[in-house]
Amino acid sequence: MNYIIGAFKPACNISIAFTDGKNRKQVPMKKENGQMVMVPLFQSQENISGKISIEPALGKKVEHNGIKIELLGQIEMYFDKGNFYDFTSLVRELDVPGDIYEKKTYPFEFSTVEMPYETYSGVNVRLRYVLKVTVSRGYAGSIVEYQDFMVRNYSPPPSINNSIKMEVGIEDCLHIEFEYNKSKYHLKDVIIGKIYFLLVRIKIKNMDLEIRRRESTGSGANTHVETETLAKFELMDGAPVRGESIPIRLFLSPYELTPTHRNINNKFSVKYYLNLVLVDEEDRRYFKQQEITIYRLAETT
């Protein structure tokens, strides 16, 4: 029995270990099957180094045509599943063709790797970074092992960060002026602002502030746009009168946001909008959408 099972077992066990694996921050990542796994976190320009161990199954030898490790940055469109577009591809040859009889370890290092894009998992698109170890074999098929890792890139606080201020309205019906204190927010930021009612002739029931994420994939005629409402935050209950000013304070931390991604490799964009929605007593909605930029601020430790 053991023999038979052994026949279907992979010929060898490949493990990938990062140099600072124990100290490096691990973050959760959702796998394709929906499971969450902890993966190490990197940012652009970091050295990615470690060791590969290949351990043949007991008493077997592994015959190979060479061993290599690749660092891949891939974009996968869900409508084109399984077809990865590699925007980054680095290769290190680890071994020349030969046989492995016992556990063998290969160090590897990719130094100052350019990883301009962040790992992203959206509705229609996925951007991932992965280490791929390939033990090439002729007829038996290559043995491949993947190790995902996550990339997050931090931005400094923007030098220019104007507030968003706007007066909108429907003639003789509703005039409001709203203000958000910034146009660029980091992920744990707070949106402070206010809505000032200049004219109210409709019976407003309530007012919400929504955070909407717009993910567009593809280009030209094939563009897919997917919009999600990530937050629906009630700002006001009841009908204001002229002259009222309603405060806004929305903490972004509870929501699962990502930084804004603009035209990533010509494949996709992720943009964030603040949508101010007023609902009247007949459930008619009046809204105004404003784009905001979200960035990842370096976390101070």
For residue 226, which amino acid is it? E
> In whole angstroms, how large is the CA radius of gyration of the chain?
26
Tell me the two tokens of residue 150.
């996550």
Tell me the two tokens of residue 12.
């060898």
Minimum CB separation of residue 240 from other proteins in Å reads 4
Nearest CB to other proteins, comparing residues 10 and 243 = 243
Q: What is the dihedral of CA 69, 74, 80, 82, to 10 degrees?
A: 20
Residue 232 CA to residue 275 CA, distance in Å, equals 9
By residue count, the chain amounts to 301
At 6, give phi and psi (nearest 5°): -55, -30
Minimum CB separation of residue 200 from other proteins in Å reads 10
Nearest CB to other proteins, comparing residues 28 and 116 = 28
Residue 157 CA to residue 184 CA, distance in Å, equals 9
Nearest CB to other proteins, comparing residues 109 and 234 = 234
Minimum CB separation of residue 182 from other proteins in Å reads 18
Which residues sit at the interface with other proteins, rule CB under 8 A? 204, 206, 231-241, 244-247, 249, 251, 253-254
Minimum CB separation of residue 230 from other proteins in Å reads 12
Q: What is the DSSP string of 62-109?
A: EEES-EEEEEEEEEEEGGGTT-EEEEEEEEEEEE-SEEE-S-EEEEEE
Nearest CB to other proteins, comparing residues 74 and 206 = 206
Minimum CB separation of residue 244 from other proteins in Å reads 6
Nearest CB to other proteins, comparing residues 116 and 247 = 247
